[in-house]
Amino acid sequence: MDWVSFEEIKKTVSLQMVIDQYGIHLRPVGPHTLRGRCPLPSHSSKDSRESFTATLNKGAGGAWACQSQSCIKARGRVGGNALDFVAAMEDCSVRDAAIKLQTWFLVPAAGNPPANVPKDSSTKNSGKAPEPISKETSGGEGEHEVNKPLAFELQHIDYAHPYLTQRGITEETARKFDAGIFPGKGSMQGRCVIPIRNATGELVAYAGRAIDASEPRYKFPVGFHKSLELFNLSKAAGEPSVVLVEGFFDCMKLSQAGFPSVALMGCTMSKTQEDLIALHFGHVAVMLDGDEAGRFAAEGIADRLQRVVYRVDVVELPEGVQPDMLTTEEIEALVKK
């Protein structure tokens, strides 16, 4: 069995090359972004005519996604790289897709596996090579999971509660994000509820923030995968630049100051979130908390994004300062700088 060099393929073959190979025509919507009808065999929706997006790197690489829910359900994921695209188009394994790319584009492949890998170890039990396993960076949540849209929306939200005022959130901003105190019954009673929507704007979860010393500080629905979403993406998408932050209130505060923002809901960035950022934005300003963990995470995230986004900046905050602690004037000074 031939040894496949996935690393060499990723370095050599770009998503643009693969799109051209299939003769797919997409319209440019940005310096490095294409959009149009989804070409995948799994796409069955006749209404989703602009659901497919491809973000192209200067060199090899690139990322794609189809936001049609029927297409996502059929594939079990939003998008991926050139290898994933060929696998979806050909209905084959990622390894078989790699072999096709290796053949199509004459990618030099190592004739033998690395010395520490037995030639027959991959076929001993199953009779075929194992698929590459991709693990996300946040809690090991599977990339093949999908957050299903909720069948309800919470009512009677208090957008003018003193807790929001204390956090520096105006009633206008609270209404814009539909975030406020929920007075009803259930697990979210008395908490500040923050709706989380997927890239197409569908409500997939509520985060419930305690407004006192109650634990846990945040509640999420059972089975919800934070690593599959970017908070506020559906509203920020379409902007040429975005500020990437950690938390909900950071995002609300940046948006309130006039800067489009999305939140990771933590200080780690999953591969899915990386792909979503690459698909929707050409310029990203990484603005994480001003502590050791935040600075370390910001450097790693910026390094990863520089490979898939046209321009990446890091906004450093003073020691111990979080974005939601800043005034509008302070935010403006830091971001514009």
Does CATH place domain 162-336 in 3.40.640.10?
no
**Residue 130 pLDDT exceeds 50:** no
The residue among 310, 312, 273 whose CA lies nearest residue 31 is: 310
**Residue 7 pLDDT exceeds 80:** no
The band of 171, judged by pLDDT with boundaries at 50, 70 and 90, is very high
Token reading at 117: 């890998």
Q: What is the CATH number of domain 6-104?
A: 3.90.580.10
The band of 32, judged by pLDDT with boundaries at 50, 70 and 90, is confident
DSSP string, 165-192: HHTT--HHHHHHHT-EE--SSSTTTTSE
Task: Check residues 52 and 128 and name the one with the higher pLDDT.
Answer: 52
Q: Residue for token digits 């940005």?
A: 30
Q: Is the whole model's pTM more than 0.85, yes or no?
A: no
Give CATH 3.90.580.10 domain extents, the chain: 6-104
Task: Check residues 289 and 70 and name the one with the higher pLDDT.
Answer: 289
The band of 76, judged by pLDDT with boundaries at 50, 70 and 90, is confident
**Residue 337 pLDDT exceeds 70:** yes
Please tell me what DSSP assigns to residue 210: -
Cβ burial, residue 298 (10 Å; 0-12/13-18/19+): buried
Q: Residue for token digits 């591969």?
A: 271
Contact 100/83 with Cβ under 8 angstroms?
Answer: no
Contact 35/51 with Cβ under 8 angstroms?
Answer: no
How far, in Å, CA of 134 to CA of 270, rounded?
A: 10
The residue among 171, 313, 322 whose CA lies nearest residue 247 is: 322
Contact 235/195 with Cβ under 8 angstroms?
Answer: no
The band of 29, judged by pLDDT with boundaries at 50, 70 and 90, is confident
